[in-house]
Structure 1
Amino acid sequence: MSERIFITGIGTGVGKTISAACVTEALQADYWKPVQTGLLEGTDTDTVGSLLSNNVSVCHPEAWLLQAPASPHLAARLENKNIDIDRIVALSKQYQPRNRALVMEGAGGLLVPINETLSTLDLILALNAKVLVVAQNYLGSINHAMLTARVLQHTGVPVIGWVFNGDYHTNEDDIVRWSGYPKVGRIPQADPVNKAFVQQQAQLLSASLHTLMA
Structure 2
Amino acid sequence: MTRFVVTGTDTGIGKTIFSAALAQATGAPYWKPIQSGLEEETDSETVARLAGVPVRPETYRLITPASPHRAAEIDNVNIDVETLAPPPGEFIVEGAGGALVPVTRTTLYADLFARWQIPVIVCARTALGTINHSLLTIEALRARGVPIHGLAFLGDAAEDSEAIISGISGVRRLGRLPIIDPLNGETLAEAFKANFALRDFA
* TM-score relative to the length of structure 1: 0.88
Tell me which residue corresponds to 2:83.
87
Deviates more, 1:196-205 or 1:156-165: 196-205
* Cα separation, 2, equivalents of 1:151 and 1:125: 11
Q: How does 1:113-128 map to 2 (within 5 A)?
A: 113-128=102-117
Residue equivalent to 2:18: 19
Structure-1 residue corresponding to 2:200: 209
Q: 2:28 aligns to what?
A: 29
Task: Decide which of 63, 69, 79 is 1:73's aligned counterpart.
Answer: 69
Q: Deviations over 1:2-37 (max 9, x none)?
A: x53110000111111000011111221110000000
Gaps of at least 5 residues in structure 2 are none
For residues 94 and 64 of structure 2, the distance between their equivalents in structure 1, rounded to whole angstroms, comes to 18
Q: Per chain length, whose mean CA-contact separation is higher, i.e. which structure has more relative contact order (CA < 8 Å, sep 6+)?
A: 1
1:104 counterpart residue number = 93
Stretch deviating more after TM superposition (8-17 or 133-142): 133-142
- Secondary structure of the residue aligned to 1:185 is strand
Aligned equivalent of 2:162: 172
1:33-48 equivalent positions in 2, closer than 5 A: 33-48=32-47
TM-score with structure 2 setting the length: 0.93
Give, in whole Å, the separation in 2 of the partners of 1:194 and 1:146.
31
Opposite residue 78 of structure 1, the aligned amino acid is: I
- The CA deviation at 1:44 is 0.4
**Residue deviations 1:43-72 (CA, integer Å, cap 9, x gap):** 10000000115xxx3111000111111100
What is the identity, as a one-letter code, of the residue corresponding to 2:81? Answer: I
Note the C-alpha offset of 1:208. 4.5
Q: What is the Cα deviation at residue 155 of structure 1?
A: 2.0
Aligned equivalents of 2:65, 2:10: Cα separation in 1: 15
Distance 1:25 1:206 in 2: 14
Q: 1:157 aligns with which of 112, 128, 146?
A: 146
**What corresponds to 1:64 in structure 2?**
60
What SS does structure 2 have at the residue aligned with 1:42? coil
2:180/2:188 contact within 8 Å kept: no
Taking every aligned residue pair, what percent have the same amino acid on both sides?
40
CA shift digits 1:128-184 (9 cap, x unpaired)? 211000011223221111101111222221111010011001211111111100011
Aligned-pair Cα RMSD in Å? 1.4
Q: 2:177 aligns with which of 184, 187, 200?
A: 187
